[in-house]
Amino acid sequence: MLKEDKEESLISHLEALRTTLIKCFVSVGILLPAMFYFSPKILQWLIKILISDNKITLNYFTPMEVFILQIKLALLMAFIAAFPYIIKQLWNFILPALYEHERKFIRNSVLLSSLLFAAGVCFCLFLILPLIIRFGMSFAGDNMQAMFGVSNVINLALWLCFTFGLMFQVPLVTNMLIKWDILSYDTVSSKRPYVVVVLLIVSAFLTPPDIVSQILLFTPTYLLFEFGLLFSKKKG
């Protein structure tokens, strides 16, 4: 009988997870047509920000290249717009297994998580990506000129924006681990060298294979970790 109860519990959890994931996908799907309608203008605005004052022209090499980019951009914008709802659904799935004080913390963190994700996207878009473009152009000379493909640049921009949005969740995760007594403040603070190594590895995994992108992701992420640690100490 006990075994049957465990099986029924597992099935009910899997069913709840399936329902949660369906709601998340549906929310993105509902927003997708509107985002696709605005994606051409968003794409032009994004290109304008990336090339900034640099005198370069982005090139495309196949007839469907820009159309596919617009679809990718629409998907990312739909995900960003649905992010608060997605986070809320995921937290609601986790909430039944948590204590009341943990539930309260999660509810209060939904808005903060969304703001941190948006901050990561903006930080990457307006500061990091233009720096990467200028760094790439710095190698140009009399015998070598920069020619950037629009797919390469925009795919890089979309991936890095998504990555920065996720990595900016670090202070929230740090605060959560300490607040829920999963790890103590002293334990986390004493493990800084390990945190540095982990963040460097994650940054290397999530960015293109160049040291500049890795450092540009690692630096703000580590500073956010320290901020989350400081905030946890004050709260404690």
Check if the beta carbon of residue 217 is closer than 8 Å to that of residue 164.
yes
180 has a pLDDT exceeding 80:
no
82 has a pLDDT exceeding 80:
yes
Check if the beta carbon of residue 94 is closer than 8 Å to that of residue 106.
yes
Statement to judge: residues 121 and 55 lie in one domain: yes
Statement to judge: residues 186 and 200 lie in one domain: yes
What is the rounded distance in angstroms from the CA atom of residue 206 to the CA atom of residue 90?
Answer: 23
Check if the beta carbon of residue 56 is closer than 8 Å to that of residue 152.
no
> Which tokens belong to 124?
């990457």
What is the rounded distance in angstroms from the CA atom of residue 206 to the CA atom of residue 214?
Answer: 8
Check if the beta carbon of residue 219 is closer than 8 Å to that of residue 124.
no
Average pLDDT over residues 73-93: 84
pLDDT at 224: 86
Statement to judge: residues 201 and 145 lie in one domain: no
What is the rounded distance in angstroms from the CA atom of residue 5 to the CA atom of residue 232?
Answer: 39
52 has a pLDDT exceeding 50:
yes
Last residue of a domain, one of 134, 168, 202: 168
Statement to judge: residues 191 and 109 lie in one domain: no
209 has a pLDDT exceeding 80:
no
- The 10s digit of each residue's pLDDT in 40-50 is 998 888 888 87
Torsional sign, CA 218, 221, 227, 230: negative
Statement to judge: residues 152 and 197 lie in one domain: no
Statement to judge: residues 191 and 106 lie in one domain: no
Statement to judge: residues 156 and 231 lie in one domain: no
Last residue of a domain, one of 137, 168, 199: 168
pLDDT at 25: 92
Statement to judge: residues 15 and 120 lie in one domain: yes
Domain containing residue 184 = 170-236
**Helix, strand, coil percentages for the chain (3-state, nearest 5):** 85, 0, 15
Statement to judge: residues 65 and 158 lie in one domain: yes
pLDDT at 1: 45
Statement to judge: residues 216 and 105 lie in one domain: no
pLDDT at 97: 64
N-term to C-term CA, the chain: 44
Last residue of a domain, one of 151, 168, 185: 168
- The 10s digit of each residue's pLDDT in 87-116 is 878 877 776 666 666 667 776 777 788 888
Report the phi/psi class of residue 181: left, alpha or beta, with left for phi > 0 and alpha for psi in -120 to 50: left
- Per DSSP, the chain holds a count of helices (H) and strands (E) of 9, 0
Count of structural domains within the chain: 2
29 has a pLDDT exceeding 90:
yes
Statement to judge: residues 223 and 117 lie in one domain: no
Statement to judge: residues 115 and 68 lie in one domain: yes
**pTM, entire model:** 0.71
Task: Name the residue with higher pLDDT: 30 or 212.
Answer: 30
